[in-house]
A = this chain, B = another copy of it.
Amino acid sequence: MAERSLEGLIDALRRLPGVGQKSAQRMAYHLLQHDRDGAQRLAQALQTATLAVQHCQRCHTFTEEALCATCSDAQRDARQLLVVESPADQAAVERSGSYRGLYFVLMGRLSPLDGIGLADIGVHPLLERAADGVVQEVILATGFSAEGEATAHVLAQALRSLPGPGGAPLTVTRLARGVPVGSELEYVDLSTLAHALSDRR
């Protein structure tokens, strides 16, 4: 099969995470055979999203505005800052209904093997954000995988050296170990997550 645009589509689909040659082929055949409308919509959605979606200036999550809806919400308690790895983890905490503070989204976690270091997960913007004079407590809610734990450990060390409001030290806490070890936050059931939040240490 020497069809250049078909090969190009398969190659482009292979760049998606978790998609190998066989899946990319199946996706390309499916779109061309059964869902050209879906292919057009996906092309359009990719272009719209890459143009419109940026990072929130305060919490780094994805947003179409300078500030995301959560950071713009005056009802949230600005004295608490909860640090998560991803927007999916943030959404999981929101669904638990037991947190009313603000967030900082790392958009990753430390992973020396993949070359992901402190700069890549925005540790400097986090330290700047946490030292705004309003934040009293930083809750570390990275995952309980080995990499998530290492990230929490490194961030805790950096954050504990910061002054909080009025010069008192920042309180740095970690979600309680109600979260099953080795699992990703976004897959945890809501009551476990609520429990882990109230038992934070």
Contacts and interface: CB of A to CB of B under 8 A. Distances in A.
Given A9-B45, A45-B11, A50 B32 contact: yes
Contacts of A6: 49, 53, 62, 64
Contacts of A52: 5
Interface in A40-69: 40-53, 61-64, 68-69
B30 A17 contact: yes
B86 A29 contact: yes
Nearest to A107: B33
Contacts of A158: none
Given A5-B52, A50-B32, A64-B5, A16 B12 contact: no
Contact of A49 (B2, B8, B51, B61): B8
Interface residues of A, number: 58
B12 A18 contact: no
A201 interface: no
Nearest to A25: B88
Given A26-B18, A91-B1, A45 B86 contact: no
* Most B Cβ at <10 Å: residue of A29, A36, A49, A52: A49
A23 to B, nearest CB: 6
Nearest to A40: B50
B41 A15 contact: yes
Nearest to A27: B16
A108 B34 CA distance: 10
Given A3-B62, A35-B15, A63-B3, A47 B43 contact: yes
A46 B50 contact: no
